[in-house]
Amino acid sequence: MQRRHFLHLLAATGLVGHLPLSSRSAQAADLDRFLVVVNAAGGWDPTSLCDPKGLNRAYQDNSDRHEGSTNSVDLDASKRYGDIQWSAIPEDASNNVEVRQRINSQFDRFFTQHGDRMRVINGIDTGTNNHDTGNRAVWSGQLDEGYPSLAALFAAANGPGLPMSYISNGGYDFTDSLVARARASSAGFVNQIADPNHYHDDKGFLYRSDNRSVDHYAMVAQAQQQRLQRQQQAANLPLTRRQLSQLFTVRNTDTNLEQLTVHLDAIRASVDRNQHWHENRANSLKSQAEVVVAAFRSQLAASANLNTGGFDTHGNHDANAYPRLGDLLEGVHFLMQCLESAGLAQRTTVVIGSDFGRTPYYNSGNGKDHWPLTSMLVIDSRLSGGRVFGATTADFRAQPVNRRSGRPDSGGEVLTTAHVNAALRDFVGIGDHTSLSPYPLNDGGFRLFS
Amino acid sequence: MTGLRLICVCWLLLLGGCNSDYSGDVGGNSGGNDGHQYTPANPEGKRLYEQMCASCHGVSGNGSSAGSSLVGCATCTSVGVLADEIARTMPIANVDACVDDCATNTAEYILFAFNGRSSQSLATELSDASNESAIATLRRATLALAGRLPSEQEESHVLNNGDAGLEDVLDQVMQEEAFYQRLMEIYNEQFLTDKYLSRNLNEGGINLLDADDYPNRKWYNDAYPGDDNNDFRRCVRNQTNDAVAREGLQLIRHAAKNNLPHTLFVNADYMMVNWYSQKVYDAELVDGGDFRRLSEPVCEGNGQTLYYDPNDFRPARILKPTEYEIGGIPHAGILTSAMFLNRYPTTQTNRNRHRAYKVFDYFLDTDILRIEGDRPGDGIGEEKANPTLLDPACYGCHQVMDPVASSFQHWTDRGRYIVTGNSSRNRWDSSDIEPAGLSGKTLPLSGADGHFRNMLQWLGAEIAQDPRFVRATVRTLFKGLIGQEPLRTPGDNASSSDTAAFNEQRAVLNQIGQAMVSDGWRIKTAVKGIVMSPYFRASASTAPERHKQLGARQFLSPDQLQRKLNSTLGFGWDELRHENNRIMLGGMDSDSVTERIREPSGLMIAIQQRLAAEMACRATALDFTRQQRLLFPYVEVGDNANDAAARQRIIANLQHLHWRLLGERLDADSPELQASLELYQQVQSSGLALLENRDQYEPKPSDWLQWECRGRWQWQSDGRRGEELAEEQRIEKDDSYSLQAWQAVLTYLLSDYRFIYE
């Protein structure tokens, strides 16, 4: 059903007042900026990524693994872009040399190709070692419940009326009812559902002629809508009426999924998702990424959570964490390629983070347990690249940093998730938006993105 | 002012009892037959209440921001229980100020004024609301509890015996394995321990166990070594891991299945193992015996087979020494499960407080974070040396939470059992935290009743006796079955309708909890109580303001939807095999996606519509090939709606479909049935016209059904294509356009509100 017909129908049935946030009518103009947050669920290890400490032997009392060092591999001076230092890949990451080489190239490619517009934020004290709380703190800036996620706030401020305004594939996605959530992670599936009656070669499961002069599915759709109206009129419970009204409206709203598939096809034609991918490995992050970019390109969504798990590496840390980190970076690299292909790379901010960090020493199972310090990575074309803000000590503990330079400074302050989120809000342009007033954060005077 | 506020807070916490508590003595005797003065109101009790209680709990007992509601409160079950609570804990600033007669008078007044009337009537009806018929509830209940439709015999029993018959059938349904699986599914939505299932994380549960404590944790690697055994070993590994991951939830199944008290969930002095996980722990079966073997192999490959039933879980104990402890593990239900302890881990600084928070939330129906008080915005407070004990802003919560946190002291961040002590690897500084205990009761450390080494067994026993555990249990079940949290205590400015709605619901849930406890803590009694309650059955209300949340229809989760497809059509949708797709449809993975989306987005509705089109295509012709048709028992291929006899058959079949798929009993001349008939006619006549003029259209209409829609294969429960039908069985053409007309009707019905909300 076309939208104008739908609105006429709504007016005729007195249901205009039931239009949910997902109606596009409130959308005044095309979106100019987008936000993607990428959540490494489970608590990643910054020292295995962008805050490496090498063979520091700092915890010989705590662990006999790797002589009590934070990492099982030493720092490599060649793994550097500007101030950004990243981890070398230890042998324990895999017995297979080819796998290690793959991970190594995933790390190198990510930092060298995107380092010119990347800001690494190290030494963020999450104030918790709990998954739920950490996830909430990192993505909302507050330990307690009640604050929407950064991406939810961005969508609420920029495109609350979009059909899939805030795409969430998991992680912390509390919205406080400011905006609707949609989960969209599988490109093939979205492609498939865009036209419910599509079988193949534009044929339907139910017959439809090419010119649609005969369309049996349209008969079904019309009957559905008429029944929904009758059901609403007959409903004797308020909750039932609300649900029916919501269904009626959502079903009639032009979700424009067809556009999404058009752009998805274009992205797929220009970006090879298997270029750096072993076909036997899961690649859900790439699936999520291409759908999100197509949704941005179709003006269906303003922000998104991408989510990938497996970072809770209490056992065999190196063998579990490094391949996961490699795949994470590969996935973000793919996201950036998709954004480039869609012409959105200059208009999108990408933030990467995780619940918290992991201990700066290995446990008896060669794993690493929870540790409150973490890092975040921000990629944006407006940033001067190769810079790091914030710092940890040589044994991976928090330390005060200068509010302007981000370098260690005893007169400064330890960076927290509240500081980072406050700065991110300003950076993505929603700091002054009225929808944020119930959720104040103190930026502590830090200038993370200047 | 702050002091006064704090006093009120403490009223809340301890009569918190009263917000969130039930009594173990839940005979429901507030109707006035226990010798106490309920009617008229005890005047002295009224005076005392207004003097000491009303400022926090409200003149009408509905609570305020400073004090919880006393309507249907957990300790509001008898004067003895409530008076004892008051005498011991109230008022908090001077707990000796209201004891003996004062406590009794106040308790009598509270029970009369705020609880007397609400506890007298059975909780199956609400004023100003009416329930659906017993037969309608039967259909929804069998789907909700066991993922199937009722049998003809069950329908007949309920039609003949009404609500009593419905209760009989529910008792039977709750003995099915599908019900126990559903029960665990409901509890996993809260506990999220399915995160560790193999489908989410290889060896997710096993890797949580310490290799030094459980050297056989990966026994399958030694038992089935070598590349040749890869597939077989993978199967055994997954069975083993999933048994470990589900050990906590299996306690619920065990208690329910064997009519044992649900309190075993927290106080069982054993764990649950099957043949596969027993080897992991080297655990000893409590009752000995052999594990059940199935007739079909569970794992098979490389010439090897295993027949042990993965659903045969038995109570067992870990008695062998672990790395640091001799004597094994002092089991305390799920509290000592490595799955629970790792899902809610701790750290050196957190000191089990997160675990305590979850214990209060999940088992004691108390949200610590909602405790009123002046929590410092920066989390630092007054910078006292020991703020959790000395700073009043912190102590309000910590005096409640920390005794429970201390009770977990022997369980490390990774869930290992290592008793604390000066020479222990597991250090515990008790100088800056409350000693182990619960609700003002301190755990005895030594002597005949000492529980130093088995603190969680003591805690589990206390929880099992705590009246709040009753409400926590009912809350979990209510949310699982109704799809909503129970209503929260109305705030200071709540409307009278909201307050009335809360009181009404509280009374009903209170009764359900009491019935469960009176029936030996059988969880099935609570499930049945919820299903029979107006919150599951209401179909109409004349008080819409008060009944805003009334009605149990909820957007089906992917798992529920798959079960419904299987029970109605006979097979599932293959797209729901993929986790990404399930998550897009609002599902969860218990790991990073821990919450179901219950309000559908445009995308989710689009998925539903696709499902309807695909499944109608696959189901229609197939059903006509069946000896026992599920969907089209009254019609034949070729029935034309313009033929009078055929039309009657079509109408009868439409009635069947509306009942089978949507739970609607429709008369032949009802508008809804006529609308479905009209759709059938419309598509059939249009289709016949197409076939007569097939050259005028592109693509050219054909007698042949679309390949996917042909009746030439079976379809499996997970949606994959099954065996091909014998050639003579197949139905692949439709020159009468009756099959495609039915396909259109089926698409229409499968995308209906009543199908996707249940």
Q: What does the pLDDT look like over B208-245, one tens digit per residue?
A: 999 999 999 999 999 999 999 999 999 999 999 999 99
Q: Read off the tokens for B517.
A: 């406890």
Q: Could you tell me if A114 and A140 lie in one domain?
A: yes
Q: Calculate mean pLDDT across residues A285-307.
A: 92
pLDDT tier at B378, thresholds 50, 70, 90: very low
pLDDT tens digits along B672-717: 999 999 999 999 999 999 999 999 999 999 999 999 999 999 999 9
User: Which of A145, A206, A283, A369 has the highest number of chain B CBs within 10 A, making it the mutation to test binding with B?
Assistant: A206
- How many A/B residue pairs have CB atoms within 8 Å? 235
Residues A70 and A185 placed together within one structural domain of the fold: yes
pLDDT digits (tens, 9 = 90+) for A301-334: 999 999 998 898 877 899 999 999 999 999 999 9
**For residue range A34-91, what is the model confidence (pLDDT) as tens digits?**
999 999 998 999 999 999 999 999 999 989 999 999 999 999 999 999 999 999 999 9
Coil, strand, or helix at residue A283?
A: coil
- Tell me what pLDDT residue A253 has: 66
Mean pLDDT of B428-437: 90
Smallest CA–CA distance, residue B512 to chain A, in Å, is: 23
Distances (CA, A) of A37 to A295, A361, B699: 15, 28, 45
Query: How close does chain A come to B347, measured CA to CA in Å?
Result: 7
Average pLDDT, chain A: 88
Quick one: DSSP state of residue B410?
Answer: T
Confidence of residue A284 (pLDDT cuts 50, 70, 90): confident
Strands B441-442 and B437-438 turn out to be antiparallel
- Compute the distance between CA of residue B349 and CA of residue A7 in angstroms, rounded to an integer: 57
Predicted confidence at residue A13, as pLDDT, reads 35
Are B553 and A182 in contact (CB < 8 Å)? no
Q: Is residue A450 included in any domain, yes or no?
A: no
Rounded to the nearest angstrom, the minimum Cα separation between B519 and chain A is: 33
Tell me how far the alpha carbon of residue B720 is from its chain's centroid. 29
Residue A210 shares a structural domain with residue A276: no
Contacts of B612 in chain A (CB under 8 A): 196
Smallest Cα distance from B112 to chain A, Å: 32
Q: Are residues A429 and A326 in the same domain?
A: yes
**C-beta atoms of A243 and B690 within 8 A:** no
The pLDDT score that the predictor gives to residue A213 is: 94
Per-residue pLDDT tens over the stretch A416-435 = 999 999 999 999 999 999 88
pLDDT computed for residue B202 by the predictor: 81
Kindly determine whether residue B613 and residue A196, on different chains, have CB atoms separated by under 8 Å. yes
Q: How far is CA B385 from CA B6, B391, B392, in A?
A: 21, 9, 13
User: Would A275 be classed as within a structural domain?
Assistant: yes
Q: What is the pLDDT of residues B184-207, one digit of tens each?
A: 999 999 999 999 999 877 889 999
Our CA-based measurement puts residue B581 at a distance from the nearest CA of chain A, in whole angstroms, of 7
What pLDDT is recorded for position A338? 96
3-class DSSP state of B481: helix
Model pLDDT, residue A38: 98
- Residue A196 pLDDT: 92
CB pair distance less than 8 Å for A199 and B540: no
Task: Give the best residue of A38, A172, A216, A298 to mutate against chain B (max B CB count within 10 A).
Answer: A216
What confidence score (pLDDT) does residue B158 get?
Answer: 97
Round to whole Å and give the CA distance between A438 and A428: 18
Interchain pair A223, B679: CB under 8 A: yes
pLDDT tens figures, B302-357: 999 999 999 999 999 999 999 999 999 999 999 999 999 999 988 776 789 889 99
Short-list B321, B184, B176, CA closest to B251: B184
Test B599 with A246 for CB contact under 8 angstroms.
Answer: yes
With cut-offs at 50, 70 and 90, classify the pLDDT of residue B383: very low
Chain B positions in Cβ-Cβ contact with residue A239 (cut-off 8 Å): 548-551, 553
Residues of B in contact with A213 (CB under 8 A): 697
Instruction: Tell me: do A398 and A277 sit in the same domain.
Output: yes
The C-alpha of B544 sits at a distance from chain A's nearest C-alpha, in angstroms, of 6
Same domain, A47 and A16: no
Residue type, A331: G
Q: Of A217, A236, A252, which closes a domain? A: A252
d(CA A356, CA B594): 18
Q: Tell me the three state secondary structure of residue A185.
A: coil
Give the pLDDT band (50/70/90) at residue B299. very high
User: What burial letters (b/e) apply to B314-348, b meaning 16+ CB within 10 Å?
Assistant: bbbbbeeebebbeebbbbbbbbbbbbbbbbbbbbe
Neighboring chain A residues of B549 at a CB cutoff of 8 Å: 239
Task: Tell me which chain B residues have a C-beta less than 8 angstroms from the C-beta of A228.
Answer: 753
Q: Considering only CB atoms, which chain B residues are within 8 Å of A306?
A: none
The rounded percent of chain A whose pLDDT value lies above 90 is 65
Residues A353 and A268 grouped into a single domain = yes
Whether A228 sits inside 8 A of B753 (CB atoms) is yes
Torsion of CA B421, B426, B431, B432, to 10 degrees: -170
Of the partner residues A144, A164, A238, the one whose CB lies closest to the CB of residue B601: A164
The lowest-confidence range among A164-178, B26-40, B398-412 is B26-40
Contact yes or no for A435/A153 (Cβ under 8 A): yes
Q: Are residues A412 and A338 in the same domain?
A: yes
Chain A closest-CA separation from residue B595 CA (Å): 9
Task: Write out chain B residues lying below 8 Å of A231, CB-based.
Answer: 753
Q: Do the Cβ atoms of A41 and A354 come closer than 8 Å?
A: yes
Closest among B374, B339, B363 to B475, alpha carbons compared: B363
Inter-chain residue contact B606 with A169, CB threshold 8 Å: no
Identify whether the C-beta of residue A37 lies closer than 8 Å to the C-beta of residue A351.
Answer: yes
Asked, for residue A395, whether it belongs to a domain, the answer is: yes
Q: Which residue has the tokens 């990347």?
A: A118
Specify the pLDDT at position B239: 98
pLDDT classification of B65: cutoffs 50, 70, 90? low
Structural domain includes residue A9? yes
**Domain C-terminal end among A252, A271, A291:** A252
Residue B753 pLDDT greater than 50, yes or no: yes
Reduced to 3 states (helix: H, G, I; strand: E, B; else coil), residue A59 is coil
User: Does B373 score more than 70 pLDDT?
Assistant: no
Enter the DSSP assignment of A25. Answer: G
CATH number for the domain harbouring residue A325: 3.40.720
- What average pLDDT score do residues B521-525 get? 97
Distance CA A324, CA A318 (A): 10
For range B385-389, the mean pLDDT: 60
The 10s digit of each residue's pLDDT in B535-590 is 999 999 999 899 988 887 889 999 999 999 999 999 999 999 988 899 889 899 88
**Across A11-25, B68-82, B626-640, least confident range:** A11-25
Average pLDDT over residues A330-345: 96
- Distance of residue A386 Cα from the nearest chain B Cα, in angstroms: 31
B719 or B99: which carries more pLDDT confidence?
Answer: B719
Name which of A206, A236, A250 is nearest B740 (Cβ-Cβ): A206
What tokens appear for A26 in the block?
């409130």
For residues A269 and A377, membership in a common domain is answered with yes
Task: Select the residue from A1, A177, A197, A227 to test the B interface by mutation, using most B Cβ atoms within 10 A.
Answer: A227
Mean pLDDT of B159-170: 96
Residue among A205, A217, A243 whose CB faces B706 most closely: A205
In chain B, the percentage of residues whose pLDDT exceeds 70 is 88
Nearest CA of chain A to the CA of B551: how many Å?
A: 6
Which chain A residue lies closest to B706 (C-alpha atoms)? A205
Q: Do B345 and A231 touch (CB under 8 A)?
A: no
Partners of residue A308 on adjacent β-strands? A40
Per-residue pLDDT at A26: 37
Tell me how crowded residue A218 is: count the other CB atoms within 10 A of its CB.
Answer: 15
Please tell me the distance from the alpha carbon of residue B254 to that of residue B651, in angstroms, as a whole number.
46
Of B555, B584, B617, the CB nearest to A205: B617
Closest CB to A247 among B208, B540, B753: B753
Token reading at B730: 């197949």
What are the tens digits of pLDDT across the range B722-732?
A: 999 999 999 99
Domains along chain B? 2-116 (1.10.760.10), 134-177+467-541 (no CATH), 191-317 (no CATH), 346-463 (no CATH), 558-756 (no CATH)
Instruction: Test B597 with A183 for CB contact under 8 angstroms.
Output: yes
Which ranges constitute the DSSP H helices of B553-664?
Answer: 558-569, 579-584, 602-625, 644-662
Question: Among the residues of B381-454, which ranges form H helices?
Answer: 387-390, 392-407
pLDDT confidence bin for A243, thresholds 50/70/90: confident
In the predicted model, is pLDDT for residue B118 greater than 50? no
Q: Sort out which chain A residues have CB atoms less than 8 A from B342's CB and list them.
A: 314
Contacting residues for A113 by C-beta, under 8 A, at least 6 apart: A333, A336
Q: Is residue A198 part of a domain?
A: no
pLDDT of residue B24: 25
Q: Is residue A443 part of a domain?
A: no
Beta-carbon count within 10 A of B2 CB: 10
Q: What is the pLDDT of residue B518?
A: 87
> CB under 8 Å to B55, separation ≥6 — which residues?
B8, B66, B67
Task: Please report the pLDDT score of residue B287 as a whole number.
Answer: 94
What are the CA-CA distances from residue A28 to residues A23, A24, A159, A352, A415 (Å)?
12, 9, 9, 30, 38
Same domain, A210 and A169: no
Residue A231 has pLDDT above 60, yes or no: yes
B578 CB neighbours in chain A (<8 A) are 186, 189
Residue range B262-285: mean pLDDT, rounded: 98
The shortest C-alpha distance from A59 to chain B (Å) reads 16
* B40 vs A183, more confident: A183
Q: What pLDDT, on a 0 to 100 scale, did the predictor assign at position A29?
A: 54
> At CB < 8 A and 24+ separation, what contacts does B273-276 make?
B273/B243, B273/B247, B273/B313, B273/B314, B273/B316, B274/B239, B274/B243, B274/B308, B274/B309, B274/B310, B274/B311, B274/B312, B274/B313, B274/B314, B275/B308, B275/B309, B275/B312, B276/B236, B276/B239, B276/B240, B276/B243, B276/B308, B276/B310
Chain B residue at shortest CA distance from A196: B610
- Binned at pLDDT 50, 70 and 90, residue B2 comes out as very low
Q: Are B554 and B758 in contact (CB under 8 A)?
A: yes
User: What is the residue range of A224's domain?
Assistant: 3-27+205-252
**Arithmetic mean of pLDDT over chain B:** 87
Higher pLDDT, B260 or A254: B260
Decide if B414 and A143 are in contact by the 8 Å CB cutoff.
no
Are residues A359 and A395 located together in one domain of the fold? yes
DSSP, collapsed to helix, strand or coil, labels residue A354 as strand
3-state secondary structure of B238: helix
B584 contacts A184? CB cut-off 8 A: yes
Q: How far is CA B508 from the centre of its chain?
A: 18
Residues of B in contact with A364 (CB under 8 A): 210-212
> Comparing C-alpha atoms, which of A381, A410, A421, A378 is closest to residue A389?
A378
Spatial separation of the C-alpha atoms in residues B358 and B592, rounded to whole Å: 18
Query: What does the pLDDT read at residue B449?
Result: 86
When comparing pLDDT for A288 and A186, which is higher? A288
Cβ–Cβ of B683/A184 closer than 8 Å?
no
Q: Which of B205, B293, B215 is nearest to B248 (CA)?
A: B205
Pairwise CA distance, residues A417 & A420, whole Å: 5
Q: Give tens-digit pLDDT for B657-673.
A: 999 999 999 999 999 99
Question: In whole angstroms, what is the distance from residue A237 CA to residue B66 CA?
Answer: 33
* Cβ–Cβ below 8 Å for B369 and A144: yes
Q: How far is A119 from chain B (nearest CA, A)?
A: 26
Res B119 pLDDT > 70 = no
Helices and strands in chain A, H and E counts: 11, 14
- Looking at the domain assignment, is residue A444 inside a domain? no
Tell me whether residues B606 and A193 touch, CB distance under 8 A: yes
Mutate one of B548, B702, B747, B754 to test the A interface: name it (highest A CB count within 10 A): B747
Nearest CA to B440 out of B425, B462, B455, B422 is that of B462
Q: What is the DSSP letter of A117?
A: G
pLDDT for B7 beyond 70: no
Q: B733: alpha, beta or left, given left = phi > 0 and alpha = psi -120 to 50?
A: beta
Taking every pair of C-alpha atoms in chain A, what is the biggest distance, in angstroms?
Answer: 79
End-to-end Cα distance, chain B: 50
Q: How many domains does chain A have?
A: 2
Pick B391 or A227 by higher pLDDT.
A227
- A127 within some domain: yes
Q: Which of A149, A237, A260, A442 should be substituted to probe chain B, the one whose Cβ sees the most B Cβ atoms within 10 Å?
A: A237
Q: Which range has the worst mean pLDDT, A35-44, A202-211, B594-603?
A: B594-603
* A19 and A139 co-located in one domain: no
Q: What does the pLDDT look like over A21-41, one tens digit per residue?
A: 333 333 445 789 999 999 999
pLDDT band at B374 (very low <50, low <70, confident <90, very high): very low
Stated pTM of the model: 0.77
